């Protein structure tokens, strides 16, 4: 049977065959062969465009308005800059990037990868967030100077965003900028990459948010905690949402994944402060505790859990100078937090802190070494702890009256 020419095949089959052609040079050749193959090969040729941002000129063919390939571009990537120390190179690169974005149909891009070493300008960020709101994958350069300027008022709203790469994170302003993106894209984010040194990281707070509220499910696995413990050896303070567990399970030493997390975190040699953002499920109703006593009873159970957690972590860290000194439950500093009950109800809670008593104090066998303290006094142990204000919510005093003299210093 005589082999058939490609242009004699049905258009659908031609499109399938051409989709397997990887080299742009071959796709260009197909575009030049005949009009029929040109129309089929053009979308494949332009599906991914890579621009050398250091060598591109604004008068080349790609930047010609009306270029038929613009409508087919889904991924736009820029190569790294060569002369990062020359300020004019950053200015020119920003101009090229904005021009490329304005050439494309609005909201047509799926992926945008800017040079990681490019100092982004306010105008470039504004162009991204106003012209291409359908992005699913985003990587931009250094935003430190641009995003902190008072002239940048655009709140980035990328509702389809799935993956974001954060580079050159230097201070809280950078994190606030990316936080705005995350809040607007909370329903779809699947991949988050941060660039920076973990060897010097001392404080880490990980919360999975859904809009302005916390999401009711965990996002980390035991493997993530293993990685954390292996790489962030300088961590002294950590905030994590732990796996869901019934408080009775903790009392019965049925720790499951909850215990694995504690064992791995205990390997962090400098960890002194552990904030657990989630509450163990309360065992109510239990046919014995009146509803009006749920809160007080739950506080007592949490105190027992705090002591059990302290002991479990101490098993891995016998040296007293390396032991945990502050443990807290909950994420809200006022009465906005909730502990779920077995029947689907909830108990309104405030963030509840516990501190370890100094080893020099005399101890009694019937009193714990980890006790609850008023939130307003935790600053003596952790200056960055967000205590409860006198107006915003209740402040739980010590559950152990024998130590009121130690905690009541206001």
CB contact at 8 A, 168 and 142: yes
State the Cα torsion 86-195-157-332 to the nearest 10°: -130
pLDDT tens digit sequence for 10-37? 888 888 888 888 888 899 898 888 888 8
Give the pLDDT mean for 138-166.
77
Contacts of 376 (CB under 8 A, 6+ apart): 387, 388, 390, 395, 410
Q: Hey, how many other C-beta atoms are within 10 angstroms of the C-beta on 228? A: 23
How high is the pLDDT of residue 357?
77
**Full-model pTM:** 0.61
Q: What is the pLDDT of residues 36-59, one digit of tens each?
A: 888 899 999 999 999 998 888 877
- Residue 365 — pLDDT band, cuts 50, 70, 90? low
CA distance 122 to 104: 20
Tell me which residue of 358, 172, 203, 359 sits closest to 268, measured CA to CA. Answer: 203
Which of the four pLDDT bands, split at 50, 70 and 90, describes residue 381? low
Q: Is the CB of residue 50 less than 8 Å from the CB of residue 79?
A: yes
Closest residue by Cα to residue 53 from 95, 88, 87, 102:
95
CB 353 within 8 Å of CB 295: no
325 pLDDT higher than 80:
yes
Tokens representing residue 233 in the block: 């050896």
Residue carrying structure tokens 């149909």: 105
- Per the CB < 8 A criterion, the answer to whether 114 and 140 are in contact is yes
Question: Using one digit for the tens of pLDDT, what is the confidence trace for 66-105?
Answer: 888 999 999 999 998 888 888 899 999 999 999 999 999 9
* pLDDT > 70? residue 397: no
The separation between CA 250 and the C-alpha centre of its own chain, rounded to angstroms, equals: 28
Bridge partners of 111, per DSSP, are 75, 137
The full DSSP string for 359-382 is: TTS---TTS-SEEE--GGGGGGT-
Tokens of 94: 């920003």
């Amino acid at each position: 049977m005589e082999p058939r020419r490609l242009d004699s095949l049905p258009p659908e089959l031609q499109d399938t065959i051409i989709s397997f052609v990887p080299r742009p040079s071959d796709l260009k050749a197909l575009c030049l062969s005949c009009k029929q193959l040109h129309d089929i090969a053009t979308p494949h040729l332009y599906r991914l465009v890579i621009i050398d941002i250091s060598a591109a000129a604004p008068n080349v063919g790609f930047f010609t308005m009306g270029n038929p390939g613009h409508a087919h571009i889904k991924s736009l990537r820029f190569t790294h800059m060569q002369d990062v120390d020359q300020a004019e190179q950053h200015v020119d690169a920003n101009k090229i990037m904005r021009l490329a974005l304005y050439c494309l149909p609005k909201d047509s891009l799926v992926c945008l990868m800017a040079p990681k070493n490019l100092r982004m300008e306010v105008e470039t960020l504004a162009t991204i967030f106003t012209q291409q709101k359908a992005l699913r994958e985003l990587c931009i350069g250094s935003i430190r100077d641009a995003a902190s300027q008072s002239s940048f008022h655009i709140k980035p709203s990328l509702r389809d965003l799935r993956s974001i790469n954060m580079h050159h994170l230097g201070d809280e302003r950078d994190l606030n900028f990316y936080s705005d993106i995350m809040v607007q894209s909370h329903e779809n984010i699947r991949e988050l990459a941060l660039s920076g040194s973990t060897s010097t990281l001392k404080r880490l707070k990980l919360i999975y948010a859904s809009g302005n509220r916390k999401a009711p499910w965990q996002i980390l696995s035991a493997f993530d905690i293993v990685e954390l413990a292996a790489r962030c050896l300088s961590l002294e303070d950590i905030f994590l949402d732990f796996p869901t567990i019934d408080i009775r399970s903790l009392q019965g030493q049925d720790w499951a994944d909850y215990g694995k997390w504690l064992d791995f975190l205990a390997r962090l040699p400098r960890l002194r402060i552990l904030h657990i953002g989630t509450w163990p499920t309360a065992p109510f109703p239990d046919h014995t505790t009146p509803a009006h006593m749920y809160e007080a009873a739950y506080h007592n159970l949490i105190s027992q859990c705090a002591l059990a957690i302290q002991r479990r972590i101490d098993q891995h860290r016998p040296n007293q100078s390396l032991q945990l000194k502050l443990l807290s439950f909950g994420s809200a500093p006022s009465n906005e937090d909730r502990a779920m009950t077995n029947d689907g109800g909830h108990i309104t809670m405030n963030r509840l802190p516990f501190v370890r008593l100094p080893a020099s104090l005399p101890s009694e066998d019937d009193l714990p070494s980890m006790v609850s303290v008023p939130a307003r006094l935790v600053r003596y142990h952790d200056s960055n702890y967000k205590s409860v204000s006198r107006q915003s919510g209740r402040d739980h005093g010590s559950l152990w009256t024998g130590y009121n003299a130690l905690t009541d210093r206001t």
